[in-house]
Structure 1
């Protein structure tokens, strides 16, 4: 598995198209989210030039995991779409607090893949470790994310320091909550993480 980190410009149009199509397949086709997006491609107002992406690729260079991170002193999903999930707590607005969104680790190429939501495989742990490593390297102290209730148990079982920001809220057919995830002060031990520019140079002939 290869983890690639970069902005839209650094990833390039081909990999952005892969990501958009993968996100549509995960969040619209599989999870049934009602999102305002073009058919077959999922992106929103929080996908812009300063957004940072962490993508996982398999040996066939197919996307098997995605994550989107933004500092909370910019526009971000929780603040604009789900502010009620913070309850009486103040919405974060701090360059040292990032929002993690559009997180998924589904490998559609695996035969017999079980349906466990967007946090359903060992890829998820490596992908989240990569996000934490990126965050730690940039001086980030915490992540905040909008999560379904089932993710809470999985995060704790995997050993992450995660906790609710407030009580869960029913949104449509789903119970959601704002989840804090502490960023370790030391870099996580994970597989190789490649900057997008380096990845393109290595695989330029592909």
Structure 2
């Protein structure tokens, strides 16, 4: 695992992160993001943005998460503020936005489900552990299935507003109470 901001990261690792994100979010998920071919970055990837990366045995990135303090411009606040409904946007060094979360590894089909669950849970536990050192709360904007997945991991979530369509896909915005996330302590599956 690698945790740090762009300045603390080796330039080759940061470049690998931008390529990983392009593969995942542009090529695989089909997001229409304004970025250079082969590298995904946006205006929220600032020098003080914190990244949590996981790598496999061959040192290839297989998971990432981006953490942005909400006392400066962040994705939900700048691009999707309407999704907050009547809830005011956070603006605090203690509240961090989780975005660009992904966990994937090339595996044999038989191993994919169990290992994918393990990898995703492990990455989320580490994200929550990092946020424990940075602040008190996370806010996230995600496909509705990811909220359920987080609960199955033992995460404590609270929806901010009703799901809305973004590019014809339902998304939800929710708080993640890091003090009540049992996924920090346990990787057991839970029902949603």
Instruction: Note whether the superposition's TM-score is higher than 0.5.
Output: yes
Q: Which runs of 5+ in 1 are unaligned?
A: 191-206
Q: Deviations over 1:30-87 (max 9, x none)?
A: 1111100001110100001111100001111010000000110011000001111111
Alpha-carbon separation, structure 2, partners of 1:91 and 1:123: 31
Q: Deviations over 1:89-129 (max 9, x none)?
A: 0000011000000000011x3233769xxxx5321111111
Give the structure 2 partner of residue 87 of structure 1.
Answer: 85
Structure 1 residues 145 and 175 mapped into 2: Cα distance closer, same or farther (>3 Å)?
Answer: same
2:144 is the alignment partner of 1:149: yes
Match of 2:67 among 66, 69, 79: 69
Q: Which runs of 5+ in 2 are unaligned?
A: 187-192
Alpha-carbon separation, structure 2, partners of 1:114 and 1:170: 29
| Alpha-carbon contact 2:156-2:181 (below 8 Å) kept | no
Give the structure 2 partner of residue 22 of structure 1.
Answer: 20
Give the structure 2 partner of residue 6 of structure 1.
Answer: 4
Give the structure 2 partner of residue 204 of structure 1.
Answer: none
Give the structure 2 partner of residue 48 of structure 1.
Answer: 46
Alpha-carbon separation, structure 2, partners of 1:51 and 1:137: 14
Let me know the Cα RMSD of the aligned residues: 1.9
What SS does the aligned partner of 1:10 have?
coil
Alpha-carbon separation, structure 2, partners of 1:174 and 1:185: 29
2:169 is the alignment partner of 1:169: no
Give the structure 2 partner of residue 110 of structure 1.
Answer: 107
Determine which structure has greater relative contact order: mean sequence separation of CA pairs < 8 Å that are 6+ residues apart, divided by chain length.
1
2:96 is the alignment partner of 1:101: no
Give the structure 2 partner of residue 126 of structure 1.
Answer: 122
Aligned residues: 182
Give the structure 2 partner of residue 37 of structure 1.
Answer: 35
- Please report how far the alpha carbon of residue 185 of structure 1 lies from its aligned counterpart in structure 2 after TM superposition: 7.3
Give the structure 2 partner of residue 196 of structure 1.
Answer: none
Structure with greater proportional helix content? 2
TM-score (norm 2): 0.89
